[in-house]
Amino acid sequence: MSDGVSQAAWSSWAFPFWATSGLLVAALVYLSGWRRIRRSRPELFPVWRAWCFLGGLFALWIAVASPLDTLDGLLLTAHMTQHLILMSVVPPLLLLGAPAVPLLRGLPRSAVRDGLGPFFRAPVLHRAARLVTGPTFAWLAMNIAYLAWHVPQAYELALRSPGWHEVEHACFLVTSLLFWFPIIQPWPSVGRGSRWAMLPYLVGADLVNTGLAAFLTFSGRVIYPSYAAGPRIFGISALGDQAAAGALMWVIGSIFYLVPVAAIAIHLLSPQSNRLAPISVMGTAKILRPSIAQRQAPRFDLLRLPLIGRLLRARYGRMALQSVAFITAVLVIADGFIGHPMGAMNLAGVLPWTYVRAFGVIALLVLGNIFCMSCPFMLPRELGHRLGLARLKWPRWLRSKWIAIALMILFFWSYEAFAIWDHPARTAWLLIAYFAAAFVVDTFFRGASFCKYLCPLGQFNFAGSLLSPFSLEARSQATCERCTTHDCIQGNQQQRGCELQLYMPQKAGNMDCTLCMDCVKACPHDNIGLFAIPPVRDVLRDPVRSSVGRFSSRIDIAVLVLVVVLAAFANAALMVGPVAARLSALGASLEKAVPLPLLGLGLVLVFSAAVVAVLLVVDLAGLWLSRSDDRANPSGREVFCRFSQALLPLGLAMWAAHLAFHLITGWATLGPAIHQASADFGWHFLALPQWRMELPLLSANSMLSLQLLLLDAGLLLTLYLGWRLAQHWTVRSSRAVLLLLPWATSVAAAYAVGVWIVLQPMQMRGMMNP
Amino acid sequence: MKPLCRLAALLVLWMGATGARGDGGTMLLHQDAGPFTITLFAAPQPLQVGGADLSVMVQDRNSEEVLLDAVTDLSVAPEAERGVQQTVRLERGQASNRLLQAATVHFSRAGKWRLTLLIRRGNDVASLSTECTVEPGSSRAVLVWFYVLLPAGVILLFVIHQGLKFRQKKQEGVFRVIA
């Protein structure tokens, strides 16, 4: 065998994404829980336990990612080594890490208590666990699985089908975990029966292994036809490979059974048993329940992180982000006017509509309202403020979201009606209009009136940030109560306070927060952090929010959320063939009677009003069905407002699925567009662009999987929010179901529409993959 | 493409695996041709309309040593329309198993297809053909059904969860009253 072939074989690693990610997450969760338990019970969890568990995970990764996996179709020896690792190395190592309690303690407390708790307390689960971890069941399960999968028909099936191959490996791993469980008795499980029984238990398994290994070793013919028919590598014949695999199973497999036999025997015969004493179920519960000190463990604060925290808190941190965004916006405007007329080859066509939109939605879901934080339109408006003309207060009767909602509908309509994505000059004009509006409004009106009451992009982000996992909050309410200056809202000589009138002690959630960090910089007590929060908290709670009030009384905010949700479906639907064709036909038939853009606006308004009306009727129907005398029924207004907000996950999921499509198919457009812009500006330090076809980042099936997965997540989160709200309003579960039913039906219908949309061929409409 | 873009794309490519997996699959052909022994693998099996991974192992006919420097081109064409042919170069970089050369081939329709391999190494050239049957694609439909039924499964689990929670709360209430 040449060195090259050997090197090629050894470099045949597979790196499976999901398996690798899953193992990494398991390692992180275990380590987090292990560290927590060690604080109170270091004697139970010495360092070697963590090493064992991590070693088990690493061995599992080796089995599924190393050349053993890629060569298993060619070499039976490689395949048997892989099975040995899965059955005899991984399970004992994982169980020696006593993983049950560390894994539970490593998860969020609420997930364990509310999510897994009811299952763990269910008697049927206890009975099932007792059955499958019992020695008889475990011994039979492992040995039957072991023998059954080595029957030639089953083995060939696994070799032919990747899916069955994975089932085979899962069978080996799971049954082997059960097999090793009574031997290792991972804490806090309690041993059943005599430890002496483990000796025949292990010896019996070794006899089964020896029988099969001997059969493979001494058989005069190749048992598995695939190896006989396939190519031979490394100069080993198929029969030689089979004999080697059998010998490996025999010798190494026996060592894995007989060494524990010796260890258990020595241990039982030794005068003093030094085993870890099993503890009662109550004891486990005590360890699972964190102490008061641990319960008050500090929350994760993004502003405490070394680099990001310093940048966000820095005096000119936001301005630095805004300056980058401002320069980019200026370049986009310039290229929009003088650059290539094709949207897909111009910065004004590529940057805002392919990249910024998609990353904006991703940022909302993983971090927060990053777009408003780095908003370029606010930079010239600062100049307007400095002119000292901002003396007017925004009129009280306009202090709602209604104008912003109208502007948002206008924005979505004009995007479609004037094909802004495909006309760089129109995108440039839109940006100029935005700069001008922000400058004029905030030059004459105090505070951030434009952001709070007018900006359609801002309202989109405010609505979306209700699901964001981070929120600016006071570190200590006691410090706020002692504070007499209220700099977070009043400001001081060095730093202005919150322009959106969000008073930190009463601020709840992200509505109206632009993450400008003014409050953080103004607070003299350094008492404000950017904390991780459960993403559904904002929608589930309804306290009186500073400058916002209760969500249940804000119809304008409910309609704002509905517009965001509706626009998600409408914007995506207009890109798919069947809808575009129908609308074109309708436009052609009515064009003589009504101008096309006006017809579009009319359709948008009628459609929006119809959907809002239908939802109102649906909510009221649920309320009527669930009416009772048990408790004061919620008002129709409250149900409408809060059920509308609960639709947000599905709407954002639709936005994410749609914009991910553009980002993934047009992911390589930015580079050539920058080169094109540089050529258009007459800057020759960059080479001319090379426009050529690139494959999308994901295959068609992977893209569809991603889109459907996003919609699934949106649907489930929306239904969960609806259920929690319905439970809050009713005493009995049956009433909650009745209240939820009409609304949930409309949610399911919206989900079905979303699935239908992503299954249709989508037009790139001016965007392309170069 | 810029190096930075390549780096950023790496993670997504890793997740989505647009390229060929190329760690084998089911053997379609194992045959001697000229000085070579050629083995052709395909995945998925049976082949379906859409993308498929095709991988080839080229060995020396006499010594059975794997020849890593052989250049292999694969042409595929539907039997009904021999003129419509796509040819791809099989690459070692596309295969997880570095003893193979692989590429993704797109089968646009169901029916019989002819696969032709052209192998060159130095002055040695060999060619061989085989036929395969491509079945109508069902992977997309399976995918859609899986993801549409996934929420139903989660909802069922949630209903069980809520039922257990309700029952346990009720029992706790009874115990409290007895106490």
* pLDDT score at B5: 54
pLDDT of A696 reads 61
Say whether both A640 and A521 belong to one domain: no
Number of domains making up chain B: 2
One domain for residues B101 and B43: yes
Closest CA–CA distance from residue A632 to any residue of chain B (Å): 22
Taking only residues 81 to 140 of chain A, the set having a beta carbon closer than 8 angstroms to any beta carbon of chain B reads 115, 117-119, 121-122
Region A341-365: what's the mean pLDDT?
89
Measure A238 CA to nearest chain B CA, in Å: 13
Q: Are residues B168 and B80 in the same domain?
A: no
Domain presence at residue A413: no
What is the share, in percent, of chain A residues with pLDDT greater than 70? Answer: 92
Tell me, yes or no, whether B50 and B109 share the same domain.
yes
Q: Summarize the confidence of residues A404-429 as an average pLDDT.
A: 89
Domain boundary among A512, A540, A568: A540
On whether both A466 and A596 belong to a single domain, the answer is: no
**CATH number, domain at B91?**
2.60.40.2480
The band of A561, judged by pLDDT with boundaries at 50, 70 and 90, is: very high
Rounded-to-integer distance, Cα A63 and Cα A151, Å: 22
Average pLDDT on A569-573 reads 90
Of the given ranges (A296-305, A378-387, A519-528, B14-23), which has the lowest mean pLDDT? B14-23
| Residues A562, A488 share a domain | no
Answer yes or no: is A717 within a domain.
Answer: yes
In a domain, residue B12? The reply is no
Which of A295, A324, A348 corresponds to the end of one domain?
A295
**Residue A360: inside a domain, yes or no?**
no
Question: Is B146 found in the same domain as B95?
Answer: no
Q: Predicted confidence band at A261 (pLDDT cuts at 50, 70, 90)?
A: very high
| Same domain, residue pair A462 and A562 | no
pLDDT value of residue A2: 63
Inter-chain touch B12–A698, beta carbons under 8 Å: yes
Q: Which of A699, A711, A733, A756 would you mutate first to test chain B, the one with the most B CBs within 10 A?
A: A699
Element (H, E) at A562: helix A555-573
Domain contains B7:
no
B9 occurs within a structural domain: no
User: What is the dihedral sign for C-alpha A33, A35, A38, A39?
Assistant: negative
Residue A407 domain flag: no
Mean pLDDT comparison of A82-96, A379-393, B154-168, highest-scoring range: A82-96
pLDDT exceeds 60 at position A1: no
Determine contact: A11 vs chain B, CB below 8 A: yes
- Give the pLDDT score at A292: 46
- In this model, does residue A293 exceed pLDDT 80? no
Mean pLDDT, chain B, whole residue set: 79
Task: Return d(Cα A308, Cα A317) in angstroms, integer.
Answer: 10
Q: Tell me the chain A residues in contact with residue B99 when contact means C-beta distances shorter than 8 Å.
A: 5, 8-9, 12, 71, 74, 233
* CA–CA distance, B91 with B102 (Å, rounded to integer): 5
Q: Are A169 and A253 part of one and the same domain? A: yes
In whole angstroms, give the CA distance from residue A51 to residue A19: 20
For B2, nearest residue in chain A (alpha carbons)? A671
* Listed residues A247, A270, A295: the one ending a domain: A295
> Are B64 and B128 within one domain?
yes
Q: What is the pLDDT of residue A276?
A: 46
Q: How confident is the model at residue A89 (pLDDT cuts 50, 70, 90)?
A: very high
Lowest mean pLDDT among A241-245, A289-293, A451-455, B25-29: A289-293
> Looking at the 3D structure of chain A, how many domains does it have?
3
**3-state secondary structure at position B14:** helix
pLDDT digits (tens, 9 = 90+) for A13-25: 877 888 888 999 9
pLDDT of residue A691: 63
pLDDT band of residue A365 (cuts 50, 70, 90) is very high
Structural domain includes residue B165: yes
User: Is A392 found in the same domain as A253?
Assistant: no
In a domain, B13, yes or no: no
Q: Measured between alpha carbons, how far is A454 from A512 in angstroms, rounded to an integer?
A: 12
Q: What pLDDT does B178 receive?
A: 57
Look at residue A172 and tell me if it is in a domain.
yes
Is A667 found in the same domain as A528?
no
Asked if residue A289 has pLDDT above 60, the reply is no
Q: Looking at the complex, does the CB of residue B157 fall below 8 Å from at least one CB of chain A?
A: no
Domain span at residue A220 reads 3-295
Q: Is the confidence at residue A594, as pLDDT, over 70? A: no
**Residue B33 CB partners (closer than 8 Å, separation 6+):** B117, B119, B126, B127, B128
How confident is the model at residue B22, as a pLDDT? Answer: 43
Lowest-confidence region among A545-549, A637-641, A643-647, B28-32: B28-32
Cis peptide before B46 (omega within 30 of 0): yes
Residues of B in contact with A716 (CB under 8 A): 151, 154-155
Residue B10 falls within a domain, yes or no?
A: no
pLDDT at A296 over 70: no
Q: Which of chain B's residues have a Cβ under 8 Å away from the Cβ of A237?
A: none
Q: What is the pLDDT of residues A506-525, one digit of tens each?
A: 998 899 999 999 999 999 99
Cα A192 off chain centre by:
41
Tell me the pLDDT band of B100, cut-offs 50, 70 and 90.
Answer: confident
When pLDDT is averaged across residues A635-661 and rounded to a whole number, the result is 93
Give the Cα separation of A663 and A649 in Å (integer): 20
Residues B145 and B127 in one domain: no
Do A115 and A24 sit in the same domain of this protein?
A: yes
Candidate from A12, A715, A733 with C-beta closest to B97: A12
Residues A231 and A159 occupy one common structural domain: yes
Write the pLDDT tens digit of every residue in A697-722: 677 777 888 999 999 999 999 999 99
- Are B108 and B161 within one domain? no
Q: By CB neighbour count within 10 A (0-12 exposed, 13-18 middle, 19+ buried), where does A194 fall?
A: exposed
Q: What is the pLDDT of residue B21?
A: 44
Q: Which residue has the higher pLDDT, A44 or A403?
A: A403
Q: Considering only CA atoms, which of A524, A531, A537, A518 is closest in space to residue A480?
A: A524
Is the CB of residue B150 less than 8 Å away from at least one CB of chain A? yes
Residue A424 lies in a domain: no
pLDDT for A693: 55
Domain that holds residue B57: 19-136
Average of per-residue pLDDT across A551-579: 91
Does residue A214 share a domain with residue A144?
yes
In this predicted structure, what is the pLDDT of residue A733? 80
A54 has a pLDDT exceeding 90: yes
CA A705 to chain centre: 14
CB contact under 8 A, B18 and A74: no
Is some CB atom of chain B closer than 8 A to the CB atom of A761? Answer: no
Interface of B with A in 60-99 (CB under 8 A): 63-66, 68, 92, 95-99
* A412, part of any domain: no
Tracing tokens 């309509």 back to the chain, one arrives at: A413
Higher pLDDT, B141 or A202: A202
Write the pLDDT tens digit of every residue in A460-488: 999 999 999 999 999 998 999 999 999 99
| Residue-wise pLDDT tens digits, A162-212 | 888 889 999 999 999 999 999 998 888 877 778 888 999 999 999 999 999
In this structure, the answer to whether residues A603 and A581 fall within a common structural domain is yes
B118/B36 same-domain check: yes
Q: Which residues of B touch A11 (CB under 8 A)?
A: 98
Closest by Cβ to A695, choosing from B18, B64, B164 = B18
Question: Please, are residues A351 and A339 in contact by the beta-carbon 8 Å criterion?
Answer: no
Residues B58-91 have pLDDT tens digits of: 998 888 888 888 999 999 988 877 667 888 888 8
Is residue A480 located within the same domain as residue A593? Answer: no
